[in-house]
Amino acid sequence: TSSKIKVDFDQSSGVAVMHMQSPPVNSLSLEFLTELCINVEKLEMDKSCRGLIITSNQPKVFSAGLDIMEMYGKSPERCGEFWKAVQEMWLKLYGSNLVTIAAISGSSPAGGCLMSMTCDYRIMADNPRYSIGLNETQLGIVAPFWFKDTMVNTVGHRTTELALELGMLYSPAEALKIGLVDQLVPEDQVLTTATQIMTKWLAIPEHARQITKSMMRKPTIDKLTANREADINNFVSFITKDSIQKSLRMYLEMLKKRKA
């Protein structure tokens, strides 16, 4: 079985770099999410690991977000299983005790943006061809409350309102301006910058930093934890609607056409 995730762990610095390598665009399938969660969990349990950098080995793309094929023409049972894995990924990353840095080396729509926003710090490649944002409404679907909450916590309420209603995808410069990313660097310096920034974060007394992170994020995490089952049911009944399936089909066709 080919591995969709490669983890390089540097014992001496305590920093792990997780490379997503699921061609062509690191879309988050059930299989991919499961592998990702297992890897994060392993690092979380390893006492010698203190920092995690998430990046992509695929050219031009960080992650295309949730795998649309997991939401199209699938049984309610399968959709439920998939959604549980999406929740799991978010809970693990947003609640991580590790210092997490997203090294966003390419486009990062929807679930890719969500994954980036779970991190403590975001560094993006300064290439105007790339974009990042929660573009769900453009697919005719609705970003769930915890996607929304994560964005509100990152860029504030009004910016999130505009971003979500319009399904905005931001250029790196725009994303920096609204605070969706923290820093832009030339494309070939994304990972080295992430490593430098990590050193700064790791110099902060760990326990104080972890408690502070938890203080900032716990209310948001508790909200999903208390409503996981209802959130799954909500997703399944929404995504299996004929009208929503039709929207997804049209979006998939648009993606193919755009290519031609």
Joined tokens for residue 195: 């490593």
Q: Which is nearer to ligand CO8, 89 or 143 (CB)?
A: 143
Q: Which of 111, 112, 133, 167 is catalytic?
A: 111
Q: How far apart are CA 95 and CA 57, in angstroms?
A: 25
Check if 136 is active-site.
yes
Helix, coil or strand: residue 185:
strand
Q: How far is the CB of 143 from ligand CO8 (least distance, A)?
A: 6
Of 234-253, binders to ligand CO8 (CB under 6 A) are: 235, 238-239
Q: In the Cβ-directed half-sphere of 38, how many Cα atoms lie within 13 Å? A: 10
Q: Which is nearer to ligand CO8, 100 or 135 (CB)?
A: 135
Long-range own/partner contacts, residues 32-38 (CB < 8 A, 24 or more apart): 32/4, 32/5, 32/67, 33/82, 33/85, 33/86, 33/88, 33/89, 34/85, 35/3, 35/4, 35/5, 36/4, 36/5, 36/89, 37/85, 37/88, 37/89, 37/92
Q: With contacts defined by CB under 6 A, name the span among 11-19, 138-146, 172-180, 215-223 that binds ligand CO8.
A: 138-146
Q: With contacts defined by CB under 6 A, name the span among 90-98, 102-110, 117-125, 151-159 that binds ligand CO8.
A: 102-110
- On whether the CB atoms of residues 61 and 110 are closer than 8 A, the answer is no
- On whether the CB atoms of residues 64 and 133 are closer than 8 A, the answer is no
Q: Which is nearer to ligand CO8, 21 or 210 (CB)?
A: 21
Quick one: how far is CA 51 from the chain centroid? 17
Q: How far is the CB of 70 from ligand CO8 (least distance, A)?
A: 8
Q: Is 135 in the site for ligand CO8 (CB under 6 A)?
A: yes
DSSP 209-232: HHHHHHHHHHHHHHHHHTTHHHHH
Contacts of 145 (CB under 8 A, 6+ apart): 223, 224, 231
Site string for ligand CO8, 55-84 (x = CB under 6 A): -----xx--xxxxxx---------------
Q: What is Dmax (Cα atoms) for the chain?
A: 53
Q: How far is the CB of 91 from ligand CO8 (least distance, A)?
A: 16
Q: Which is nearer to ligand CO8, 40 or 64 (CB)?
A: 64
Q: Which of 65, 135, 184, 248 is catalytic?
A: 135
Q: Which of 30, 36, 52, 66 is catalytic?
A: 66
Site string for ligand CO8, 3-32 (x = CB under 6 A): ---------------------xx-x-----
Residues marked active site are found at 66, 111, 135-136
Task: Return residues touching ligand CO8 (CB under 6 A).
Answer: 24-25, 27, 60-61, 64-69, 107, 109-111, 135-136, 139, 141-144, 235, 238-239, 255-256, 259
